[in-house]
């Protein structure tokens, strides 16, 4: 048995912009234990419910994460709508589904770029981010913002999209698809990429389930859990099926995300075909109900996020707002994957869960 | 196979225009919905203060007495709540950005009443 050394990793690390700190206990070059600590970027967003009325809180919820911003605002609205028994118009639900899937395409392209960067493949990183730019332009055209959209409202959405804009969106995405396929082919069969990803950070199906992994981390290990299989949004009508890989290594998690990009484009196309005419929001007035709570679950690009809202008095202020983000659920699985890996593989494994520490700490 | 792919990408990159815009020469086009800054048609404003009450960031100040409407540009998060609540629809989300600044800019708009109708200029000359 070699001598044990402890190497600190993060919170400032060249490959990882997210402030997570890991104490890596090493034996020679092998990690025997990883002890994570977070708490470097806590912003106290949940506490703000005491100062912001419930319709205004959606802008705070949106700022939990800069990448899944639409998903977070949807999750919050979904929770408050459940609390107040508001029936959201069909068209609004479809529009939310379209924007949410568009967000998934942008998030996964961003992540693929970061992964390429983590194993030193700079040009692949640039190519992925170049493609992502087109999606951001679509967002700007339809919502007005590239990253923060402010289109979600309790009771519906702010903006509609006309038939031409929707058709244009599908055309743009379909036009991008061959290029995405060409670039993602590199992740699938380039020898140097496979050397860095295949068999690295293996998480078995049993472990993924027992440790409560969510999102592509769980699906890469063969656990078919996806909140889009439940009743949120319009996924049931669109015939959603979760994408699952069974190898459980970094490569499998990459493939899940690559295939989810194509799936999201398909879902957007189907949603555009089926979107009904009608209202895009219902007016929401009045106070919150007394002593009520609601739990909403939304599938973010990184996995399942849970939103809990509680009101105690009939005012405009919620008493409690609690968010459990996907990275929080994936950290135990990450610690498990890191046990026994090489020191050089640590950045790749950490990135393979798509960590978003800012939303974990809110 | 790998070499072929690489050379294709290499040649494409050599002969293609850059994907980034040559900024000061080529300006970016903003979309109709781009969140640039809040504009006001001060002529129509009632100074009712609805926008200031509905702004989640308290970025707007309305003074009925001096007939001024001011906005702290740095505080505004472009949520468009004020635009939706204004009863006179005199607020708009413009799609251009305000110039960059190093201080916390507050833009103030004052309503200047149009000059009162002038007395008829020509009084019939007394004979
Ligand atoms: S809500 Fe409209 S009319 Fe009222 S003060 Fe604001 S800008 Fe003026
Ligand atoms: S856009 Fe939102 S933050 Fe900005 S002034 Fe209007 S209400 Fe306030």
**So what's the pLDDT on residue B127?**
41
A8 belongs to a structural domain: no
The model's confidence at residue B6, banded by pLDDT at 50, 70 and 90, is low
Q: Hey, which residues 58-117 in chain B have their CB within 8 Å of chain A?
A: 77-81, 84, 93
Nearest-Å Rg of the Cα atoms of chain B is 25
**So what's the pLDDT on residue B3?**
61
The mean per-residue pLDDT over the stretch A4-15 comes to: 80
A278 belongs to a structural domain: yes
* Closest Cα to atom 7 of ligand 2: B55
Domain containing A252: what range? 55-354
The mean per-residue pLDDT over the stretch A307-319 comes to: 86
The mean per-residue pLDDT over the stretch B104-127 comes to: 65
**So what's the pLDDT on residue B126?**
43
Contact between residue A232 and residue A298 where contact means Cβ atoms under 8 Å apart: yes
A23 belongs to a structural domain: no
CB pairs under 8 A between A and B: 38
Nearest-angstrom CA–CA distance, A134 and A301: 18
Does pLDDT of A278 surpass 70?
yes
- Assembly ipTM: 0.75
Residues 6+ apart with CB under 8 A from A169: A98, A102, A138, A142, A161, A268, A272
Nearest-angstrom CA–CA distance, B106 and A167: 41
Contact between residue A277 and residue A240 where contact means Cβ atoms under 8 Å apart: no
**So what's the pLDDT on residue B125?**
44
A97 belongs to a structural domain: yes
> pLDDT tens for residues A116-139?
888 888 888 888 888 888 899 899
**So what's the pLDDT on residue A224?**
85
The mean per-residue pLDDT over the stretch B101-122 comes to: 73
A345 belongs to a structural domain: yes
A78 burial (CB, 10 Å; 0-12 / 13-18 / 19+) is buried
- Note the pTM of the prediction, 2 decimals: 0.86
A221 belongs to a structural domain: yes
Between residues A232 and B104, the one the model is more confident about? B104
> pLDDT tens for residues B48-107?
888 888 888 888 988 888 888 888 888 888 888 888 888 888 888 888 888 888 888 888
**So what's the pLDDT on residue A105?**
92
**So what's the pLDDT on residue B124?**
47
Query: Ligand 2 centre and the CA of B58: distance in Å?
Result: 8
Does pLDDT of A58 surpass 60?
yes
A31 belongs to a structural domain: no
All residues of chain A having their beta carbon less than 8 Å from the beta carbon of residue B79 are: 59, 150
A36 belongs to a structural domain: no
Does pLDDT of B115 surpass 80?
no
- Chosen for mutation from B10, B56, B57, B95 (greatest number of chain A CBs closer than 10 Å) is B56
> pLDDT tens for residues A165-181?
898 889 999 888 888 88
Does pLDDT of A231 surpass 80?
no
**So what's the pLDDT on residue B27?**
83
**So what's the pLDDT on residue B123?**
46
Contact between residue A237 and residue A160 where contact means Cβ atoms under 8 Å apart: no
| CATH number of the domain to which A290 belongs | 1.10.645.10
> pLDDT tens for residues A345-360?
888 888 888 888 878 8
Total domain count, chain A: 1
């Amino acid at each position: 048995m070699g001598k044990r050394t402890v190497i600190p990793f993060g919170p400032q690390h060249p490959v990882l912009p997210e402030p997570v700190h890991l104490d890596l206990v090493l034996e020679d070059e092998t990690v025997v234990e990883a002890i994570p600590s977070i708490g470097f970027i806590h912003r106290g967003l949940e506490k703000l419910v005491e100062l912001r009325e419930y319709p205004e809180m959606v802008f705070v919820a949106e700022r939990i994460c800069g990448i899944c911003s639409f998903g977070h605002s949807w999750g919050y609205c979904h929770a408050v709508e459940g609390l107040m028994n508001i029936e959201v118009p069909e068209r609004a639900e479809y529009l939310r589904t379209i924007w949410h899937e568009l967000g998934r395409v942008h998030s996964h392209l961003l992540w693929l770029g970061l992964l390429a960067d983590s194993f030193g493949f700079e040009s692949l990183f640039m190519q992925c981010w170049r493609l992502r730019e087109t999606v951001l332009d679509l967002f700007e055209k339809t919502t007005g913002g590239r990253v923060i959209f402010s289109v979600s409202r309790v009771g519906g959405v702010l903006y509609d999209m006309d038939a031409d804009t929707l058709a244009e969106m599908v055309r743009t995405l379909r036009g991008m698809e061959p290029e995405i396929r060409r670039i993602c082919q590199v992740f699938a069969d380039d020898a140097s990429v496979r050397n860095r990803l295949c068999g690295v950070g293996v998480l078995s199906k049993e472990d993924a389930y027992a440790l409560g992994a969510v999102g592509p981390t769980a699906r890469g290990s063969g656990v078919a859990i996806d909140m889009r299989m439940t009743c949120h949004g319009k996924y049931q009508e669109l015939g959603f099926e979760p994408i699952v890989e069974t190898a459980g290594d970094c490569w499998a998690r990459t493939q899940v995300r690559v295939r989810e990009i194509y799936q999201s484009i398909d879902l957007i196309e189907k949603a555009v075909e089926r979107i009904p005419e009608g209202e895009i929001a219902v007016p929401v007035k009045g106070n919150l109900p007394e002593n009520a709570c609601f739990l909403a679950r939304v599938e973010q690009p990184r996995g399942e996020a849970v939103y809990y809202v509680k009101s105690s008095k009939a005012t405009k202020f919620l008493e409690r707002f609690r968010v459990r983000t996907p990275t929080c659920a994936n950290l135990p699985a990450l610690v498990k994957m890191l046990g026994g890996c090489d020191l050089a593989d640590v950045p790749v494994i950490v990135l393979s869960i798509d960590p978003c520490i800012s939303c974990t700490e809110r | 196979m790998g070499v072929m792919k690489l050379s294709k990408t290499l040649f494409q990159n050599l002969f293609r225009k850059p994907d980034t815009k040559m900024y000061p020469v080529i300006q970016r086009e903003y979309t109709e919905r781009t969140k640039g800054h809040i504009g006001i048609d001060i002529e129509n404003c009632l100074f009712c203060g609805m926008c200031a009450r509905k702004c989640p960031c308290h970025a707007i100040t309305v003074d009925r007495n001096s007939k001024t409407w001011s906005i702290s540009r740095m505080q505004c998060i472009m949520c468009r709540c004020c635009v939706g609540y204004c009863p006179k629809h005199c607020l708009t989300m413009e799609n251009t950005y305000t110039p960059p600044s190093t201080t916390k800019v507050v833009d103030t708009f004052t309503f200047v009443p149009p000059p009162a109708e002038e007395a008829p200029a020509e009084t019939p000359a007394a004979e």
